[in-house]
Structure formats: C-alpha cells, structure tokens
Amino acid sequence: MINIGVIGCGYWGPNLVRNFSTISECSVRKLCDTDTGRLEAMAVQYPAIEMTTNFSDLIEDTGIDAVVIATPVRFHFEMALQSLMARKHTFVEKPMVRNVHEGRVLIDSAHKHGLTLMVGHTFIYSPAVRKVKEIIESDELGDIQYVAARRLNLGLFQKDINVAWDLAPHDISIIFFVLPDGPISINCQGKAHVNPDIEDITSMVLNYSNGRIATIQSSWLDPNKVRDMTFVGSKKMLVYDDLEPMEKIKIYDKHVEIPPHYDTFAEFHYSYHYGDMCAPYIKQYEPLKRECQHFIDCINSGEKSESCGLEGLKIVQVLEAASKSLKDGGGQVILESI
Amino acid sequence: MINIGVIGCGYWGPNLVRNFSTISECSVRKLCDTDTGRLEAMAVQYPAIEMTTNFSDLIEDTGIDAVVIATPVRFHFEMALQSLMARKHTFVEKPMVRNVHEGRVLIDSAHKHGLTLMVGHTFIYSPAVRKVKEIIESDELGDIQYVAARRLNLGLFQKDINVAWDLAPHDISIIFFVLPDGPISINCQGKAHVNPDIEDITSMVLNYSNGRIATIQSSWLDPNKVRDMTFVGSKKMLVYDDLEPMEKIKIYDKHVEIPPHYDTFAEFHYSYHYGDMCAPYIKQYEPLKRECQHFIDCINSGEKSESCGLEGLKIVQVLEAASKSLKDGGGQVILESI
Amino acid sequence: MINIGVIGCGYWGPNLVRNFSTISECSVRKLCDTDTGRLEAMAVQYPAIEMTTNFSDLIEDTGIDAVVIATPVRFHFEMALQSLMARKHTFVEKPMVRNVHEGRVLIDSAHKHGLTLMVGHTFIYSPAVRKVKEIIESDELGDIQYVAARRLNLGLFQKDINVAWDLAPHDISIIFFVLPDGPISINCQGKAHVNPDIEDITSMVLNYSNGRIATIQSSWLDPNKVRDMTFVGSKKMLVYDDLEPMEKIKIYDKHVEIPPHYDTFAEFHYSYHYGDMCAPYIKQYEPLKRECQHFIDCINSGEKSESCGLEGLKIVQVLEAASKSLKDGGGQVILESI
Amino acid sequence: MINIGVIGCGYWGPNLVRNFSTISECSVRKLCDTDTGRLEAMAVQYPAIEMTTNFSDLIEDTGIDAVVIATPVRFHFEMALQSLMARKHTFVEKPMVRNVHEGRVLIDSAHKHGLTLMVGHTFIYSPAVRKVKEIIESDELGDIQYVAARRLNLGLFQKDINVAWDLAPHDISIIFFVLPDGPISINCQGKAHVNPDIEDITSMVLNYSNGRIATIQSSWLDPNKVRDMTFVGSKKMLVYDDLEPMEKIKIYDKHVEIPPHYDTFAEFHYSYHYGDMCAPYIKQYEPLKRECQHFIDCINSGEKSESCGLEGLKIVQVLEAASKSLKDGGGQVILESI
C-alpha cells in the first residue's frame, strides 16, 4: 500500500484526490492547502483523510510514501525538491518547473535517490492521443509534414505565467509523444492585451530538421473553447478534436499528388486526391485515472514513467525557448540537445 | 445600356457573365478566352454573346464600354492598362496587380481618362460583412483589440502566386472595410511543402498603431474548408463564420473585466463576464450580383466604387510587404503611407 | 435537337430553364407564365427565348417537342394531359398529380402515344442518394429494419397541399429508390396550427410486409432546416444528412448483437457493437442537371425514365393513403397493388 | 445531520452517493447491493461507509433517516413502501413505479407518516430546464402550440421496461415542469426490433385541451446520441439541445404571421417573420447536486419537493396510457384526472 499526500486543493488537486482514491494499491492520507476553506470542503467528502495547512507537516510525515504537487507553477521546484530530498516519490503538475536548470536539479535528485519523478501531462494518457500515436506509427498518414494545434478559450488567466506556459504544454507533450523526434528551434510571437506583462495570445512554431513544422496557437481571449490538432501527412490528413464527444479523431484520405519526375521546364501539375473520411472507434476511459494508476505502477515496478522528469524537462526547454523568442520579437531560438 | 466584354472564362469568369446577364442596365456582348473548349461551352448557354480568342478583338471593339478581367493575376496589369487606354471602364479580379507600382499606374490611367476602375473584392458586398461593419461602427463590441482570420482548405494550388496572395486578399479586404484605419507594419511566416518555391501555408500579422493586431492564417493544406474571423472587442466578441448556412455572425457578450485602478502591490484580479450569445438576422442576397450592379452604378453615376483602385492598391501593398517579410524569415516590414 | 417549352417561371421553373439551357442536345424555345413580371425578368437573362402568357400558345406550337411543367400541383394533371395529347414528351414536377386515378390516365396516355413521361423526383439523381443505394445493395448494412426521415423548416406554406404532399415526396421517392420493395400500409398523423385545414406538421409511417417500418416527419414549423435520414440495418447504421456540405453519408459500424439461441428461461443478454464511423467520398455534381439530361436521354433512346410515370404514381398512392389516414385519426390504410 | 442509506450501486447509484457525500447536512452511512463486487469497488472509494448485501439490514437500521432507491424499476414499489413503513424519508429513481395504483399507495403512505417522498426527475433541477421554464413563463415565446422532443441513442436496452418507460420520463417531466397544464389524452406507436416483446423505438403524442400537441420520440436504435426539444410558440421558437456544451438554449425570433382578419373569399396570405437568434447565458451547476440538496432541504423544512410523489405519479400515468395505446395500435387513450 502506497500512502499519498497531496499539496494543493484548488482547481485541479481535487481531481487527483478523487482518482487516487479509487485505486486499491494506494491510499490518500493527507491533504495540504493554505486555504482552510478548501480543506473544510474536502473534509466533508473525504472524512478519512487528514488535513493540514503546513507543507512541512506533510513532507516530514514518515508515513507518506509519495507526494503529489498541484500548486501554482512558481512553487513546483522548491516543493518537488523538498519532497525528493525527504525520499518521497514525487508527482508534479505540468509545466514541471520554470526553466531547464530547475528541471535538471530535480531529475538528478530523483535519480540519486532512486525515486519515481513524474509530471502530470495528462493528455498522453488519453485514449484519443494513444490512438493518434498508433495511427502515425502505422504509417497510414505517411510522413508528417505539418502539425497545427489550437487551444483557445476565454480565461482562466494565470497570475504567474503567460498563456503559452499555461496551455501549450498540453500540445507540446502530445506532439512529443506521437512524434518522438524533437524540434531543433522555436519561434514565438504573442501579445498582451489585458495585463501589460503577460501574453494572453501566443503563436509558437516548432521547426524540425526534416523541414516539418508544428504551429501552436494559444489564447485566453477567444469566445469559444477550441482544442484541436491537424496532422498533414504525405498520404493522409488527420484531425484530432478533443471537444468532439464521439468522433475525436477523423482521418481524411486526402492529399496532394506530386508527379514523380518534376520537369522544371514544363508547367507543374499537381492533382488532388479526395477520398473517404474515417473516424476510428476509441475505447473510452478517464485519462487522469490511467495517469494516476501509472504513477503507482511506476513506483511499484521501478520503471520510468511515460511522462518522466526528462519528458517534462524537454517541454520546459521548448517553453523557455519560446519565452526568449517572444522577447526577441519572434526570432528563431535554437534548442541545445538535452 | 452599357456593353460589356469579359476576358477569362475559367473558374470565376462564368459567375461574372451569369450575374452581369441578369442586370437590365447592361449587356454582355463579347467573351474572350484562349481555350476554345471553354468558349464553346459558354456558347451553348449564351447563344446571343459573341466569342473570341483574341484579346485585341475585344479591346478594339468600339461597341464595348466596359471590360471585365478574370484571368490569372500575372495578366491583370497589362490587360487592365490596355483596357483603360482604350477608354473602357475596367473591372479587375483580385488581387488587382503584382505590386504597388503597377497599381499606381492603373489608378493614374483611370483618373486621367475619367474611367471607373474597380477590383473584385466580392466579400465587401456580402450581407454578412456589411452587418459586421454595422455592428463594429455601432460600438457594440467596444474597441477592437484583436482580429483572427482563417481561410483554409485543400487546394486549389495556384501556379503563379502563393497561398497568401490567393486567399488573404479576401481577409485583408474585409478587415480594411470594417476597420478603415490601416496597419503600420506586416509580419509573415510560411512554408512551402508541395512546391519548393510557392508557400502553401502562411501566417500573416497586421500591426496597428493603437496596439491592435490582426492575424491571417492561409492554407492550401487543410482537410477541412474553414472561413472564419474572430473580432475581440473590449466589450464583446464576434465570430463571423462564412460557412455557417444561417448563423454567419455570432456576438458573444463575453469580455475580461479589468479593475479601474491597478494596484501593483496587490495581486491583480480579473473577472470574466459571460453572457448571452446573439446571432443577428441577416438578409440574404448574392454578393456577386450586388458587386456587378455596383460596377454598373459607378459607371453611370461617376462615383467612386467601394472597392476602387485605391482600395485594391492598399491590399496589394500589404501582400507585397508580406512577401518581403516571408523572405526575411518573418521580420517586420513597415508600410509607407499611400 | 429537342425543342423545349417550359410552363411555370415561379420558384422552381428558372432552375429547370437554367439546366436545360446548358445541355447541347436540346434548346429551350418558349417560356410560359401568367405573371408578365416573371417573364420580363427571364427575358433579360434569356434574350433568345420566346415568352408567352398563354399555355395554348405553347401546347399548339408544332416546333416544341417536349413540355416541362413547373406549376402548382392542382394544374399538373390537366396540363400534362393536354401536353401528351398534343404528342409532346412531358416532364411534370413532383408530386405528379392529386390522386391515383389522375396518374393512371397520364400513364395510359403516354403509353398510347409512345411518349416519355417523367416526374421531377430530383433527389434520386443526386450523387448522395445513388451512393446510399449502392451501399444498401452491397449488403454492408445488412437487412434494413428501420428508416427514419426528417424534412423540417419554417415555411414555405403551400396554398393547395399540406406539408406531407409538399415535403414527403422527396423522402418517399428516396426510400422507394434505395429499397424497391414497397410498403403494404400507411399511417399518418398531423396537426394544422396556422391554417385550420392544411396540416403543417405530419408524421407518416410506412409499414412493410417483412416488419420493417419507415417514419417520415414533415414540418413547416421548425426554426431549423433539417433534411436527414437514418437507416438502421442488422449489421451497420447509416445517416444521410443532405445539409452536410462534405460528409453527407456517415456509416456507423454499430449494431446490437443478438445471441443466436434465445433462451426464454434465462435473462436475455444483448451486447452492443461499437466501431468505426466512415464517410465515403461522394463525387459532386448537380442532381438537377443530371435529371434534365436524363429526360433528354430518355426521349432520344425511348427507354423508361428512372422516375417514370409509374414511379411518380406509386408516390402519389402513398400520399393519397396518408391523407385518408390523417382524416381517420391515424388509422392504418392498406395499399392496393398497382 | 440526516443519515442516508442507498440501495443500488449499479449505473446510477454511485452518482447519488458521490453527490450526497459532498453535502454537509447529511451523511451517507450504508450502501446496499446484491453484487459484492460493486460493494468492494465502492469500499475503496468510501472507506467510511458501511456495506451490506441485505436490504432489511438497511431498512431496519434505526440510525438511517432516509433511504435512496436506485434499483431496476420492478423493485421500486416494494422497496419504497418498506422504506416509508419503516418511517424513513424516501427518494426513488424515475420512473417512480409501474402503474398509477402503486404510485397512489406510496403517496398515501408518505402522507400518513408525514415523510418526504421524492422522485429522481433530475432534469427539472438542471439550469437549462429552469431557464426554459423562465422564458416560457415570461411569455417571450407566446402561446406554446407545439413541442417536439427526441431522446435517441444506441442502447442501453433495459430488461424490464421498453424504451418509452426508460427514456420518455425525462421528456415528460420537463414538459410538465415548464407547461404545468397537463395533456388530456395520449397516443403511442412503436416497434420492437431486437426483442419481440420490448419496444426499442416509440413515438408518443400528448394531446392538450387547447389544441397543443407534444411529440416524444424515444429510441435505443440510433447511431447518434440525441437529446433535444423544440418549442414552437405563437411569437418565437425555442430549441433546447442538452448535448450542446455551451449554447443549450436557442431562441429564434421566427414565426408565421397570420393576418388579423381572415378573408375566406380571398386567397390566404401568410408571411414569415425571420429574426435574430439568441442563446441566453446559463449559469452552470450539476443538476444532481441540486436535486440531492433539495431532498435534504425538503426533509428539513417539511415542504413538498418539486418532484414529489404526485409529480412522479402524473408521469407514470402518461406512461401507463402510452403502454395501453401501444397495445391498441396507436389509438387515443384518455387520461383521468388525478
């Protein structure tokens, strides 16, 4: 039995508590939040769990085996480091930390103590994203030439991070999961309309060595909620729309047919192939439940998580580069290999 | 009675012929195309119209009062100039010409001879765009802070222009029509996937002196046809989706409420206003019919067209700046005042 | 060259004129309407066609080979009979006539004189309906157990027929085309809200000898335009939505799995098969053009039309039975074999 | 503090347990189910709640103040009656019972012992249905002439009731809530495709004394999930689509305009008013939470529930009449006043 302590009972924390509570191999023992109102609300629903406003109380509890951190991003590094130094397996919400340096420190600490370090990139545990990965790996789409992701809605504005740090980690984690070869450079443009210092609209470009590009639009200023990704392959095209209740993935048998021998003297002739659209059946389950179970499984088996510290770090590296590009007016920022 | 000659019976020309044919103040007398197959097909439907493969034959016909040019862009300048020098009122399809210089020559020529010069920016004659203009001018949305336009589909690839020159003129003409203050600079990024020299995906940014930005996504590589524009105002938000059969315009009573005195010492607090959505009734008529009628009316009255040569030139100026930015890797290109 | 006269230039007639005008094997020579305003509007667009307000003028013109009737239903029988007796091939808009008796008279007349008699059931010439027929005939769906059709919108109210006679002919003609075995009886319920004598909402049921039922909802009182049909087969389900711009047909790999040996003593257990959804590619063309071409082809070849008089008659028989059921409060009306 | 026992931990019971667990004025003490697997799964999540497979164990527990019944319909009457006779406030899932007689017995028993009897008609506690009621009561739509409801999907087949008893209670309860004047008679047609004795498709009509009709389509055999209701008023039309994530209610400013003095000698002329569409903002909360809180509030205050036994009975009366009509081939069944 793995005993769990959770820090942060705001927007997301209660979802983690609910899911860990349904897993028989673990037990949520302690919840921590500085807001006593939140703790009281949790106590009604979970009378058997101990509540505390003191993080040290949780970190020093030798009965706790694993710590789950669902606080604002600016607390992630320090809390995760304390947790690891207290020899506890550690789950951190996304984005893992504020910069590459902090990420490296956490990974080293987890490695040194032989602990599981996992980041809450929930989407890679969703059945739809697993299906997209499976389809791309089967080569049904051909070479992926272009990826376009959009994640838009009105609010919720964050206080300590811009919209790219808030929303783009989902898209980046999905792109890295389904297309493991990483980008070589990043461009990012954006605009702060509401708060002069915090961009509420950003447009990021991931450039790959093979000419592929991925664009990621993030916005806190759109009247409609949008969560979609288009993958343009050399054979077919795929759209993954996370808001579709049933047909989240649509594969379009459409592509441009390029003549095999390109004759520069003649006029070029492209033809368009239009064909069937197919929406594969996707088994439904709650990604967060799968993610929580995976954390417990990794602790028990000692195996690396699919969203381990290193995966979390790669995403932070892109975000850090995007921030740099934003400041430079959209210029290209090269990624060093990690 | 104004007698009309039309050059170009390919994709768009027949729509112009059909619409001018229903207007009682004018008469289509001659069609010109180098493809005799196209002329034969038109002759079945329009037995009373004369056909010719020779542009001079049309331009030198003293019975023709006005010339309508619906050819590929690379022929626009020379044909329009010949038409104006032959003292004919001239209608040119969009984009008017390949660069600002050519546009200035045409405007000067039309001015000198007292002729009507009009560009086929059809969307500004559509009832939905007229309604958007009316709503914005009523100040129902407040200050427009952000505009996001998308025009995506699979193909049709053009041979002589990239996707920005092909699709963005629609969006730019709409933005200029509803928000007459023009931008001060342009950024444009893009990628050529199919033909190494012709971008099939572009992302353009129009920067305004008051901090407003407008983004225009254009693509020939999307499995779904998309034609939408989002206007984010300080009071409300508006989405114009041209593919919606009935509710093309939706006004969302949503905005971010900013506290009047920003206290830098305290945590900032934004609140979100969510309210009703309303889709105003829009009277339906064919924009192209309205546009053709407007050309005839301008000839008869001598008044300036709403899409006169100068308006066409402003759009060409943005496209020319976008091309320059594309070559420079997305850098900002300042627009000179016209 | 087949010379055509068209009677009726109201809502639908101009579409017929436009399409026949593009076919090279025929020529529209004369248009007839009692409304001179309509004739003048047509004359602008078709200067080469002769106009008349006198039906006899058209029927007695020996230069006319075929007559196209696009008037209100109450004139169909008399006009078509005159046309056939004047030895002209005759095209009548749907529904063909007001009752089975009138239909029989027209069929006999056409047969006696060796003339083509065709009814304007346009939908059976549409690529989507052709595709549905092809899919059903391939047995991909298995046995069709249930069909549900809806055709709803606000208006246009007809003056001489109720909503079932106005809208249901489309659905009935499609059902008869894709499932040639006809029903054995009809039920129909309805309600007249706006005009006390003319039902504006009807619900019809077609009962088949094999237990299959088809329901047809028709309404002039719905805020949204709806045109869809669901086919439930023993293997798969199909939805045909005529308002979808691209994916008009969706095939759902869903069905209920019934255990082979049903044990009445045990609790029954059904399982549900959920699978992929697929939208087959459909080549696009204008159904009305295809229909007009087919009329000309039938005249030239002497072959029976796919929507010949007998097919039109079968649909009138269902409508006549539905009217009887409506008067009887929804009781079942048996169809005699034709 | 009200102590609660819940019987039935299958499909719906866990949702009730979850919601009652978050209410501070009550405490879930005991869960009962004959399936020990279900009880074990619940025990992981709710370690503080006692589990039992014996209903008597729950009913005889003097520490339990209120019983919540979420079993198949065939057990409702006997369990609810035992619960009331054991002096416990009783919540029964919908439909309350199998016939009017059983319903009367329960109401009498609750009345005699001064206990709260409530039926789980969740939809009347939803913010969207509350909004529909508010709009209709404001007379914005005018007189409601016609209501059309659809509730369709594939499965889940019930073993002891047909699709009308399974799905229509939702629609009937909503119609009764927003339009309190009840119908005077019922028609119902249907068909059993999968199981020869249990209709999987039904079409019900509620006839009102003022000429209004309401139609309710229910199906377990549709590939798509549909939950919508259209209200046609003399002034405006409203569509409530429960599957729309944001715009569940759309009000269409559309209606048919009838001339004030109807001249029977002249041709009648209707005109159509087309206007704006508006989707009012609806505050979001979980209806089931509201329903559970309402049960506790009613127990504490002694006031009648909005879905009290009598309301549940009225719905059962309609269902019983529908079953009778189904057997009679769709004939009209008059409702006695309750």
**pLDDT tens digit sequence for B109-145:** 999 999 999 999 999 999 999 999 999 999 999 999 9
> For residue range B165-203, what is the model confidence (pLDDT) as tens digits?
999 999 999 999 999 999 999 999 999 988 888 999 999
Instruction: Find the DSSP H helices in A147-304.
Output: 163-178, 287-301
pLDDT digits over B198-218, tens only? 999 999 999 999 989 999 999
Question: Among all residues of chain B, which has the CA nearest to that of A145?
Answer: B193
**Among C96, A157, C133, which Cα is nearest to B269's?**
A157
Work out the mean pLDDT of chain D and round it to a whole number: 93
Q: What is the pLDDT of residue A260?
A: 53
For D135-168, how does the pLDDT look when each residue is reduced to its tens digit (9 = 90+)?
999 999 999 999 999 999 997 667 789 999 999 9
C-alpha to C-alpha distances, C136 to A142, B92, C232, C283, nearest whole angstrom: 32, 49, 11, 18
Give residue for tokens 């025990």: D43
Contact call for C45 and B23, based on CB within 8 A: no
C22, C23, C44 member nearest B24 (Cβ): C44
Number of residues in chain B: 338
Contacts of B47 in chain C (CB under 8 A): 48
Report the share of chain D in percent with pLDDT over 90: 85
Mean of the per-residue pLDDT values of chain C: 93
Q: Any idea what DSSP says for residue B103?
A: H
Proportion of chain C above pLDDT 70, given as a percent: 96
A246 contacts on D by Cβ (under 8 Å): 224-225
Residue C259 has pLDDT above 90, yes or no: no
H/E element holding B84? helix B76-85
Percent of chain C with pLDDT over 90: 85
Joined tokens for residue B187:
């950024």
Nearest-angstrom CA–CA distance, B41 and C21: 11
Of B191, B213, B239, the CB nearest to A224: B239
pLDDT per residue as tens, chain A (338 positions): 999 999 999 889 999 999 999 999 999 999 999 999 999 999 988 988 999 999 999 999 999 999 999 999 999 999 999 999 999 999 999 999 999 999 999 999 999 999 999 999 999 999 999 999 999 999 999 999 999 999 999 976 677 899 999 999 999 999 999 999 999 999 999 999 888 889 999 999 999 999 899 999 999 999 999 999 999 999 999 999 999 988 999 999 988 876 554 444 334 456 778 899 999 999 989 999 999 999 999 999 999 999 999 999 999 999 999 999 999 888 889 999 88
Quick check: B56 contacting C, CB < 8 Å?
no
* B residues 235-274 lying closer than 8 A (beta carbon) to D: 246-247, 253, 274
Tell me the C-alpha distance between A106 and A115, whole Å: 11
**Cα–Cα dist A311/A110, whole Å:** 14
Tokens representing residue C228 in the block: 């869809």
Establish if D284 touches chain A: CB-CB under 8 angstroms. no
DSSP for residue C74: G
Asked if C295 and C91 touch (Cβ cutoff 8 Å), the reply is yes
Among chain C residues, the shortest Cα distance to B24 is held by C44
Go through chain C and tell me how many residues it has.
Answer: 338
Report the sign of the C-alpha dihedral through residues D283, D288, D291, D296, in that order: negative
| Strands laid side by side in the B117-120 sheet | B50-52, B26-32, B2-7, B66-69, B89-93, B117-120
Mean pLDDT of B260-276: 60
Closest CA to D9 of D68, D59, D66: D68
Look at residue B272 and tell me whether its pLDDT is greater than 60: yes
Please confirm whether the linkage preceding A95 is cis (ω < 30° from 0). Answer: yes
Average pLDDT over residues D247-273: 69
Rounded to 5 degrees, φ, ψ at D29 are: -105, -35
Residue D260: pLDDT band with limits 50, 70, 90? low
Task: Encode pLDDT of D130-140 as tens digits.
Answer: 999 999 999 99
Q: How many CB atoms lie within 10 A of CB C57?
A: 15
CA distance to partner chain D, nearest, from residue A21 (Å)? 5
- Overall average pLDDT of the D219-245 stretch: 95
* pLDDT number for residue B266: 38
CB A100 within 8 A of CB A320: yes
Interchain CB contact of C279 with A (< 8 Å): yes
A230 touches chain B (CB under 8 A): yes
Nearest to A146 among B146, B189, B221 (CB): B221
pTM value? 0.92
Partner residue facing D47 (CB), from A44, A48, A243: A48
Q: What are the tens digits of pLDDT across the range D21-33?
A: 999 999 999 999 9
- DSSP state string for A2-23: EEEEEE--SSSHHHHHHHHHT-
Of A302-306, C96-100, C209-213, which gets the smallest average pLDDT? C209-213
Q: Sorting pLDDT into bands at 50, 70 and 90, what band is C317?
A: very high
Pair of tokens at residue C272: 């549900």
**Chain-chain contact of B256 with A221 (C-beta, under 8 angstroms):** yes
Average pLDDT value for residue range C136-152: 97
Whether B281 has its CB under 8 Å from any CB of chain D: the answer is yes
* A contacts of B204 (beta carbons < 8 Å): none
| Chains in contact with D, where contact requires at least 3 CB pairs less than 8 Å apart | A, B, C
Give C45→chain B minimum CA distance, Å: 5
Any CB–CB contact under 8 A between D276 and chain B?
yes
Which residues of chain C lie closer than 8 angstroms to D254, CB-CB? 154, 223
Backbone torsion region of residue B54, taken as left when φ is above 0, otherwise alpha when ψ lies between -120 and 50, otherwise beta: beta
Positive or negative torsion for Cα D253, D258, D261, D266: positive
Query: Is a pLDDT exceeding 50 seen at residue B261?
Result: no
- How open is the CA angle C269-C274-C277, to the nearest 5 degrees? 155
Q: Is the dihedral of CA B151, B68, B318, B181 positive or negative?
A: negative
Verify whether the Cβ–Cβ distance D268 to C159 is below 8 Å.
yes
CB contact under 8 A, C278 and A278: yes
**pLDDT at residue number A269:** 52
Give the DSSP H or E segment for D327.
Answer: helix D309-327
CB A194 within 8 A of CB A122: no
More confident residue, D139 or B11: D139
CA dist., res. B18 & res. C21, Å (int): 13
Question: What's the pLDDT tens digit per position in C13-59?
Answer: 999 999 999 999 999 999 999 999 999 999 988 988 999 999 999 99
Residue partners of C183: CB distance under 8 A and separation at least 6: C206, C207, C208, C214, C318, C335
- Chain segment C260-302, per-residue pLDDT in tens: 544 444 344 567 788 999 999 999 899 999 999 999 999 999 9
C-alpha C28/C-alpha B35 separation (Å) is: 26
Give the type of residue at C301: S
Q: Would you call D284 helix, strand, or coil by DSSP?
A: coil
The mean per-residue pLDDT over the stretch B35-50 comes to 92
Q: Report the C-alpha gap between D315 and A281 in whole angstroms.
A: 37
Assess whether pLDDT exceeds 70 at residue D267. no
Highest-pLDDT range among B255-264, D138-147, D322-331: D138-147
With a cut of 70, say whether residue D65 has pLDDT above it: yes
Q: Are C67 and C295 in contact (CB under 8 A)?
A: no
Reported ipTM: the value is: 0.89
Cβ partners under 8 Å of residue D255, min gap 6: D142, D233, D234, D235, D236, D237, D272, D273
* pLDDT-derived band at C222, boundaries 50, 70, 90: very high
The verdict on A24 touching D (C-beta cutoff 8 Å) is: yes
